[in-house]
Amino acid sequence: MIELKDTRTKQLYVFEGRLLGKCSGMELGNRPRWTDVEIYKTDTGLYPVAKRGMSKIFHRVEGGCINKSGKPMGEVTSFNNLTDDHVECTRCRPEDDLDVQQVRLEENFTTIIVCDSPAEVSRAMRLDSRVPIIAQRAYDRAQKVAPELEPYNPSKAVLL
């Protein structure tokens, strides 16, 4: 049983199936923000694709960075909860405050796309221009165990 949750829509996907291929942006080197892509096939013939935005960056609680919606970035947490892997934002620099008690830790998110066919999986990978190398590697790995997936060709992009 596999469970995937889309953190934006709050939709939970539960299915029997298998992971066909995945790739993590961390394969390209240690970064404070990266994307992971996972491609699955359900026993009923659908292809769920999970795209995960990951971050280790933390911000100031007061006077920190804001997102595109004008809201403070991240969830408030104790500064003591951070690990050595977490990275200070270079813009708002929360560690400049010697008495910092709380910070805003950027939230990871997952987007799930359920594809009806191998062609849709290929299209879903091509449409994600932010992570073309990660998408291509995940797709290539999936294609090795699922030959019904056509070879990855980013030049065949379809605009929807």
Q: Check whether residue 96 and residue 123 sit in a common domain.
A: no
16 and 29 together in one domain: yes
Q: What is the 3-state secondary structure (H, E, C) of 56-107?
A: CEEEECCCCCECCCCCECCEEEEHHHCCCCCEECCCCCHHHCCCCCEEEECC
What digits encode the pLDDT tens for the residues 39-52?
999 999 999 999 99
Instruction: Write down the pLDDT at residue 99.
Output: 85
- The two beta strands, 57-60 and 87-88, are parallel
Residue 160 lies in a domain: no
Quote the number of domains for the chain: 2
pLDDT at residue 158 tops 50: no
Tens digits of residue pLDDT in 124-156: 876 655 667 888 899 999 999 999 987 766 555
State which H helix or E strand residue 33 sits in. strand 33-42
- Domain edge (last residue) among 105, 122, 137: 105
Q: Are residues 12 and 83 in the same domain?
A: no
Residue type, 72: P
pLDDT tens-digit profile of 40-94? 999 999 999 999 999 999 999 998 899 888 999 999 999 999 999 999 999 999 9
Tokens of 23: 């790739």
Q: Domain of 142?
A: 2-55+108-154
Pick the more confident residue, 159 or 136: 136
Task: Using the structure block, give the residue that is written with the tokens 């539960």.
Answer: 14
Mean pLDDT of 15-21: 97
What would the mean pLDDT of 10-20 be, rounded to a whole number?
96
